[in-house]
Chain A
């Protein structure tokens, strides 16, 4: 794939006139998808996909294009040249863009992660036997992913990785579920079977009759996966500088009213684990680390180069959408072994579901409990709870109601496959909150 991208990009750059620039962004995959239900195969298949997005810049105007890479160089070059010509003509008609960011050559990179992964023809036999006797439902996404970027100034970036993720649920006879997500690069059958066995052990707790909880405020423990979902909301009308400037960020109280979160709450953008490329779709390379919230105070927002130019700021090379790509939350002091005892009486929430802003300026988020969520009393897990809706503000649960933070980080991989397989992960601990509001 790298050779294909290099050949296409070099050929297309030759098509440009002296006052024209192009940025090319490449995304591709050779993937296997197997969908399971009732510990059997519902759908199975393979997808080869690759696309190039183009940004054509001329005379202070910018125009975008994109096409599918077929793998046939003659066809792909014809498509690319057609796009250049189309954008060249269209750019003449467009208004000037005063915040246009011109490409530069700030150096190139090449990251290729080889792996001894799960062979496509072996996947089903590797996965299903360990799930025997369970109501197993989920998806295997397996294979190579590619990202590339090149511009007409000579800059080139390439990122290639080979990964698998088995994202699944085990379901009890009374419709309670345990969630699992086994992912990595090198496949290890023993590790996989141990992981599945731990999921099966959790199922026994879920066999207890679920308890119906009343609405109200509860002391609550959130496992890392739930915290990761809350942090994900920061990428949607949250930590983006453009969102703040355009009046649609939940971080407005921190920016305008100097509101603070808990001193125990810190978040950075951290590219050092290499979950995803450091370069963005304009080929700009982010710093290894960027402090966002430091001891409860808003330290930095995500600033793309376009926002920087528009608002007179310094870019930190965020992606154009100014969303988190590799966030890491700081750990605290609470040990997992002490969580239930420390919680004493309240809710133990492993996963949450379908989050949305219910009052964005107020930082209020609504959503639902899902999977292994329990009622705890006297420092003991009593039983799973029936699904409950919550509606509360992150200014409370990451703020004055944040009691303790776990002393360990967990990596929550991005397993989304809209359009194509996602890269990235959120590293965060669990949190204990004094009061959390259930509303329905």
Chain B
């Protein structure tokens, strides 16, 4: 049950001598459903609704996140936020003015064809149960699950300098998973996990994708992996599918380019960055084939929007052009602090967290090689799909990824199935070894629902799209 709130009226009722006041109302409802091993394990729907009151006092922002959306509640919150900001203003990292919250008016609605209620809870359970039946291809599948989640969000932002923004989102997440096991030998294959299908779309998803055929494939591949050879160890060519490329982009580019990290805000938690302020316009991040964009305009990608949570209008921008680092992921506050050009990426996870620099949609633009042409270039190497393990250091240099499913590449052809394919490297040498970028036929749109960052901690939705890519001389290895 969503409460109707007149946020402009609430703004006008605030009576504190602040230099600027903003209200950001967030309503969000999650409806997850899951069938595991033939039985319903999740059928739920939960919502959160509140307002963040933000004030600017003597150059310092202060906030109060409250679920009490009455005029008295918001007025009380504003007074307390004012007091917090006033005390802190004697010790500010940076003294801001109203330009940190530009004035914009507009709206956004994510695209969808069928709304949440177009498929009933009962029908969804039937579809998920049928998908489970297709996953369980034989008794070696010891566990299998199918799940989906619908997310509805509404963000409203109004401010004393005239911002008036309304953004509505309908999002959909879906996954299939099958685990085959024989004693302690166990292998799991998924539809990409929750990063595999997370999009701005509605229930039309079920019309557009062959869920049951994919469930069969996933079940069969889990069985296949159980008896597959372990991934070989050595330095070799590596072809990475888009559903793994998305996390490679996320960890070794996205987080590294967050300007608040570069400015040191995040050093006590997620870490710093190997990228320095003076690197923009100079650092050859990757090979000439590498073009990375911040693109909040790509239809149906998970983190498309028109305005960030500071009210800045969002536009597509190159972050890395022909391998050269040209722009950082810095919202208006970071742009003011650093003097760098940035993007509209000042985002908060909900009404109870303050915005910080986040990724939105960070994509690798397609090249011109078909998938077969990428594979044909490889004499001895490995092809990997679907992430299952990820780790990177606090400067975003030394990474290691593990994938669910691999194939050996021999003399330009895909051959044996490989289990436990892993690879590791260091960010800029890795991206400079990029020697093949797939064309738009290989392009896949993915994302992650749970990118963690910030103090206090926040999880946020991020989109990543990429073609398949070929890398030269990468450290590849298998399991124990």
A-to-B contact residues, CB < 8 Å: 31-35, 37-38, 40-51, 53, 62-72, 75, 78-79, 82-83, 86, 90, 93-95, 97-99, 120-121, 124-125, 128, 137-139, 141, 167-169, 171, 175, 177, 179, 245-248, 252-253, 255-257, 353-364, 366-368, 370, 387-389, 391, 393, 416-419, 421, 439-440
Q: Which residues of A contact B120 (CB under 8 A)?
A: 93
Q: Give Cα A417 to B179, complex, Å.
A: 32
Q: Give Cα A393 to B65, complex, Å.
A: 43
B-to-A contact residues, CB < 8 Å: 1, 3, 36-37, 39-50, 60-70, 73, 77, 80-81, 83-85, 87-88, 90-93, 120-122, 125, 129, 142-143, 179-181, 183-186, 188, 263-265, 267-269, 271-272, 352-354, 356, 389-395, 397-398, 400, 402, 420, 422, 424-426, 452, 455-459, 475, 479-480
If A97-B39, A366-B400, A418-B459 touch, does A49 touch B389 (CB 8 Å cutoff)?
no
Contact among A40, A65, A90 with B91 in the assembled complex (CB-CB below 8 Å): A40
Q: Which residues of A contact B43 (CB under 8 A)?
A: 62-64, 90, 94
Q: Give Cα A248 to B142, complex, Å.
A: 10
Contact among B67, B184, B393 with A68 in the assembled complex (CB-CB below 8 Å): B67
Judge whether B67 and A69 touch: CB under 8 Å. Answer: yes
**Interface-centre pick from B77, B353, B452 (highest chain A CB count, 10 A):** B353
**Interface-centre pick from A47, A141, A421 (highest chain B CB count, 10 A):** A47
Q: Which residues of A contact B3 (CB under 8 A)?
A: 70, 75
Contact among B45, B77, B87 with A121 in the assembled complex (CB-CB below 8 Å): B87
Q: Which residues of A contact B81 (CB under 8 A)?
A: 45-46
Q: Which residues of A contact B60 (CB under 8 A)?
A: 41, 44
Q: Give Cα A257 to B43, complex, Å.
A: 36
Q: Which residues of B contact A31 (CB under 8 A)?
A: 456
10 A-B pairs with the lowest CB-CB distances in the bound complex, closest first: A66-B46, A64-B44, A362-B480, A93-B122, A45-B63, A247-B181, A246-B143, A139-B455, A252-B184, A417-B456
Judge whether B142 and A41 touch: CB under 8 Å. Answer: no
Q: Give Cα A66 to B45, complex, Å.
A: 7
Judge whether A248 and B456 touch: CB under 8 Å. Answer: no
Judge whether B73 and A38 touch: CB under 8 Å. Answer: no
Judge whether A64 and B45 touch: CB under 8 Å. Answer: yes
Judge whether B44 and A387 touch: CB under 8 Å. Answer: no
Judge whether B50 and A49 touch: CB under 8 Å. Answer: yes
Q: Give Cα A137 to B264, complex, Å.
A: 8
Determine how close the nearest CB of chain B comes to the CB of A77; give it in whole angstroms. 11
Q: Give Cα A49 to B352, complex, Å.
A: 8
Q: Which residues of A contact B475 (CB under 8 A)?
A: 440
Q: Give Cα A366 to B389, complex, Å.
A: 9
Q: Which residues of B contact A42 (CB under 8 A)?
A: 93, 265
Determine how close the nearest CB of chain B comes to the CB of A264; give it in whole angstroms. 22
Judge whether A368 and B393 touch: CB under 8 Å. Answer: yes
Determine how close the nearest CB of chain A comes to the CB of B348; give it in whole angstroms. 11
Determine how close the nearest CB of chain B comes to the CB of A55; give it in whole angstroms. 9
Q: Which residues of B contact A257 (CB under 8 A)?
A: 183-184
Q: Give Cα A336 to B425, complex, Å.
A: 36
Judge whether B1 and A82 touch: CB under 8 Å. Answer: yes
Judge whether A247 and B180 touch: CB under 8 Å. Answer: yes
Q: Give Cα A119 to B345, complex, Å.
A: 34
If A53-B46, A389-B398 touch, does A358 touch B61 (CB 8 Å cutoff)?
no
Determine how close the nearest CB of chain B comes to the CB of A23; give it in whole angstroms. 13
Q: Give Cα A354 to B398, complex, Å.
A: 11
> Would you list 30 pairs from A and B whose C-beta atoms are within 8 A, ordered by A residue?
A37-B264, A40-B91, A40-B92, A41-B92, A46-B64, A67-B46, A70-B49, A72-B68, A78-B1, A82-B1, A94-B43, A95-B39, A97-B40, A124-B88, A124-B90, A139-B269, A177-B267, A246-B142, A247-B188, A248-B188, A252-B181, A256-B184, A353-B271, A356-B389, A358-B400, A358-B402, A359-B480, A361-B479, A370-B393, A389-B393
Q: Which residues of A contact B121 (CB under 8 A)?
A: 90, 93-94
Contact among B62, B77, B92, B391 with A355 in the assembled complex (CB-CB below 8 Å): B391
If A49-B50, A62-B43, A93-B120 touch, does A356 touch B397 (CB 8 Å cutoff)?
no
Judge whether A248 and B479 touch: CB under 8 Å. Answer: no
